[in-house]
Amino acid sequence: MSENAPNMSAAVVTDSAPTPAHPEQVLSDVASLPALPGVYRYFDAQGNVLYVGKAINLKKRVSSYFQKNHGGTRIGYMVSKIARLETTVVRSEAEALLLENNLIKTLNPKYNILFRDDKSYPYLKITALGKSGSEQFPRVAYYRGAVEKKHHYFGPYPSAWAVKEAILLMQKVFRLRTCEDPVFSNRTRPCLLYQIKRCSGPCVGHISPEAYAQDLADAERFLNGDAREVMRELEARMMAYADKLEFEQAAELRNQVAALSNVLHQQSVDNVSDRDVDILAVKVQGGRACVNLAMVRGGRHLGDRPYFPVHVEDAAELDDPDAGDTVAAVRSVEMQVLDAFIAQHYLNVPAPPSLVVSVPVDKGLLQALSEQTGVKISAVHNPREQRRVWLEMAQTNAGLQLARLLAEEGSQQARTRALVEALDLALDNLDELRVECFDISHTAGESTQASCVVFHHHKMQSAEYRRFKISDITPGDDYAAMRQVLLRRYGKLAETLAEAKRSGVVPAGTGRLPDLVLVDGGKGQVSMAREVFEQLGLDLSLIVGVEKGEGRRIGLEELVFADGRDKVYLGKDSAALMLVAQIRDEAHRFAITGMRAARAKVRMDGGKLEEIPGIGPKRRARLLQRFGGVRGVALASEADIAQVEGISTDLAAEIYRALH
């Protein structure tokens, strides 16, 4: 698309350290920017993305960052680090807004308000209606993933619990089946759900396809918000059966009406005009923010889910209207947080036609979303009646969730501070404390695995965990395993840092050493870690061993140091020891689950058979069929293995050696 073709401006990186004076190429690129709408990106000397922004007028907006004196503010610090910029020209402000938030989600810039990707939303799924077998009786199920057009999906729901509650409702009121097709097709008598009146028993013919289809249609209309109309029709059909003296059918409908009435009463479902609405309440406090998203689908309130963005503290400065584009009034941090959430959240999640919000939303944002979805999206800031009740509920929950988060973070920061003080670590910023912990796990030397877990920003960072498959050591030699994992983890990094120290240039993408390296073990493991760090030329003071106390009881652990310091016992009530124990236990859990998975693959799945030269899929299948699994092959003698078609005597001997 030529009108959207990127107009990229790149500056040559001249200095890795941030300085107030910008490279001449950056200033030249800024001066040559067009007065058109677009998106700009700032990069530091290492190539890291600092900030992504949009502008109606690129030249005016970007120039303002370099013309103003920002002093010692956070925005001033960010501007001082800009070593390169890129821009993309687009056709309209709406396009700029959508591109900006796509880039924010992709690049994770350091100074933007950023909402982390959450797992996908769950749906309630009703399978497609067919003409034969189980297809005549569609099932209702919990579903998460890509949707297929042939099935019917209702949602999204804010949580798995909400979907399961809806499924239970479908069972109570409409008695739809939930069993898998293989179970349905092989039933000879009704299951327990039929006995407790949660299923109409279609598997054994207790309901006709026509009657089931009617219940299914009623259920779908109920989920779409026509609850009162469904109730009226059920009552009318009940009276019709009673008039014809068909009291058994009338009694069934009476029970259905009673169940539906009870559900409507419990859930306080009103006959509101809104079918699908998202309610968004934002709360900012203590440098953190919470956006609480509540969902109404089919006129029913399905529950809510909290979201906590990062980099909120930079929002007010970096979205300063004085920095460029004309804005009528300063937008509050709450408004900026909510705008960021709406723009990023609805990139991948279908937006309902109506939003109820606690603070005003940028009209340009709503226009962009409407253009993207093809559905006009409106936002109500000061709602009335039922909408007001929904918003008040969302605001209350946002406040509660934010208070919980602040309390948890306060506790986490206190533990981090206690550890830094207990070990006398030279660290200016507690948020930057990085701890890496190693553990070795195996069963009698089999499937040895080493784990490395990471603690950073006051919490465990599971995305940075690593497992190492240990090989070429004597089975059960934990010291050799620790030596191997430390060399593999820090060997290349130590070489890079040593070269950077000699040349004075740090290559882009170079990692950093942790502030603390924990090893699960006492003097022996610490001595091995010391040897590795001496070999690599790394600081020995980083290494701390966690030695089990008397009787291996929790709370009696002592810390062992590689640099010659005396052992330290922090005390069983020490917050620092609690943090060390948490990190150590997480490393052990991560290592042992990896070891068990590797061992199960060898013993149960036949993974080791395929690693033997000469064993392909056909020979593997013959072996497993002949002996009933890898365990059976391992128990067989060489002579027995050689009797399998396609297995020679030499290959049988090789298989026997590999499995023993």
Q: Is 483 left (phi over 0), alpha (psi -120 to 50) or beta?
A: alpha
Query: Of 304, 303, 307, which is closest to residue 282 (Cα–Cα)?
Result: 307
- 277-403 with 430-501+512-601: one CATH topology? yes
CB-CB contact of 562 with 528 (8 Å): no
Q: Where does 604-659 sit in CATH, by number?
A: 1.10.150.20
CA 334 centroid distance within chain: 24
Size (the chain), residues: 660
CA distance 224 to 513: 55
Phi, psi of 353 (to 5 degrees): -70, -15
Q: Where does 2-92 sit in CATH, by number?
A: 3.40.1440.10
Crossing angle of helices 523-536 and 478-503, rounded to 10°: 30
Q: DSSP letter for 34, please.
A: -
pLDDT attached to residue 314: 60
Q: DSSP letter for 612, please.
A: S
Q: Which amino acid is at 278?
A: D
563 CB neighbour count, 10 Å cutoff: 13
pLDDT attached to residue 431: 83
Q: Is 155 left (phi over 0), alpha (psi -120 to 50) or beta?
A: left
551 CB neighbour count, 10 Å cutoff: 6
Please, what is the end-to-end C-alpha distance for the chain in angstroms?
62
- How big is the chain by its Cα radius of gyration, in Å? 32
CATH class of 277-403: alpha beta
Helices (H), 374-469: 385-422
- The two tokens of residue 269 are 């479902």
pLDDT attached to residue 6: 40
CA distance 578 to 583: 9
For the chain (length 660 residues), average pLDDT per consecutive 10?
A: 40 38 79 90 87 89 80 74 88 83 84 73 85 84 81 83 83 86 84 88 89 87 73 76 74 70 51 74 88 84 85 60 40 86 83 90 86 85 87 90 83 88 82 91 75 91 89 85 92 86 72 88 90 91 85 75 86 84 90 70 54 78 76 81 86 81
Q: DSSP letter for 311, please.
A: -
- The two tokens of residue 590 are 């991560």
| Fold annotation for 430-501+512-601 | Nucleotidyltransferase; domain 5 (3.30.420)
Please state whether beta strands 459-460 and 434-443 pair in parallel, antiparallel, or not at all (unpaired).
unpaired
Cα Dmax for the chain: 98
| Helix or strand run (H / E) with residue 291 | strand 288-297
CB-CB contact of 419 with 579 (8 Å): yes
Question: Bridge partners of 284?
Answer: 289
CA distance 433 to 411: 15
- For the chain, the domains span 2-92, 123-267, 277-403, 430-501+512-601, 604-659
CA angle (27 as vertex; 23, 29 as ends), nearest 5: 110
- The two tokens of residue 641 are 């293995």
- Burial string for 354-376 (b: 16+ CB within 10 Å, else e) reads bbbbbbebbebbbbbbbebeeee
Phi, psi of 106 (to 5 degrees): -80, -40
Phi, psi of 49 (to 5 degrees): -75, 125
CB-CB contact of 393 with 294 (8 Å): yes
Helices (H), 434-551: 478-503, 523-536
Query: Of 410, 407, 383, which is closest to residue 394 (Cα–Cα)?
Result: 383
Question: Bridge partners of 355?
Answer: 278, 379
CB-CB contact of 104 with 49 (8 Å): no
CA distance 357 to 182: 46
- The two tokens of residue 28 are 């030249």
Q: How far is CA 603 from CA 289, 442, 468, 610, in A?
A: 49, 14, 20, 12
CA distance 167 to 157: 12
CB-CB contact of 124 with 153 (8 Å): yes
